[in-house]
Amino acid sequence: MENCRPLIIRFGAMGDMILLTGLMQALHARFGFACDLLSSGGWTRPLLQGNPDLGELKLIKSRKRPYPLAPEQWQLVAWLRRRPHGPVYICDFHSQDKLRWLLTRAGVDPADCLYAREALFPADAPWFDRWKIFSGLAPANYLEYPARAGSYPEFPRLSVDAAAQSDVTAFLRDNGLTGPLVLMQPGNKRTLKRGRLGVIGDHKSWPSTNWIALCRLILAEWPEARLLLCGAPAEQPLLCDIAAGSGSERVHALGDRLPIPRLLALMTHAHSLVSIDSGPAHAAAAVGCPTVVLFGATELQKWLPRGPTKTPVIGLQAMAGEPQLVAQISIEKVFDAWRSLTQARQTQP
Q: What is the SS3 string spanning 127-179?
A: HHHHHHHHHCCCCHHHCCCCCCCCCCCCCCCCCCCHHHHHHHHHHHHHCCCCC
* pTM score, whole prediction: 0.94
The predicted structure's pLDDT at residue 41: 87
For residues 273-296, give the mean pLDDT: 97
Q: Is residue 323 very low, low, confident or very high in pLDDT (cuts 50, 70, 90)? A: confident
| Residue 277 near residue 204 (C-beta atoms within 8 A) | yes
pLDDT in tens, 114-143: 999 999 999 999 999 999 999 999 999 999
pLDDT digits (tens, 9 = 90+) for 12-70: 999 999 999 999 999 999 999 999 999 998 889 999 999 999 999 999 998 889 999 99
In the sheet that 251-253 helps form, which strands lie side by side, from edge to edge? 251-253, 226-229, 181-185, 272-276, 291-295, 313-317
From residue 329, alpha-carbon distances to 5, 284, 306, 342 in Å are 46, 21, 22, 20
The answer to whether residue 194 scores a pLDDT higher than 50 is: no
Single-letter amino acid, residue 1 = M
Q: How confident is the model at residue 345 (pLDDT cuts 50, 70, 90)?
A: low
Provide the mean pLDDT of the chain: 93
Reported as a single tens digit per residue, the pLDDT across 141-183 is 999 999 999 999 999 999 999 999 999 999 999 999 999 999 9
* Domains in the chain with CATH codes: 7-142 (3.40.50.2000), 162-347 (3.40.50.2000)
Coarse DSSP helix, strand, coil percentages of the chain, rounded to the nearest 5 percent: 40, 15, 45
Whether the pLDDT of residue 220 is over 60: the answer is yes
How many residues are present in the chain?
349
Residue 195, pLDDT above cutoff 90: no
> Residue 106: in which H helix or E strand, if any?
none
Confidence of residue 94 (pLDDT cuts 50, 70, 90): confident
Q: Does 95 score more than 90 pLDDT? A: no
C-alpha distances (whole Å) from 339 to each of 20, 96, 260, 271, 312 are: 31, 44, 27, 11, 12
Could you read off the pLDDT of 203-216 as tens digits, one per residue? Answer: 789 999 999 999 99
Q: Which tens digits make up the pLDDT trace of 222-233?
A: 999 999 999 999
pLDDT score recorded for residue 346: 54
Q: What is the pLDDT of residue 259?
A: 97
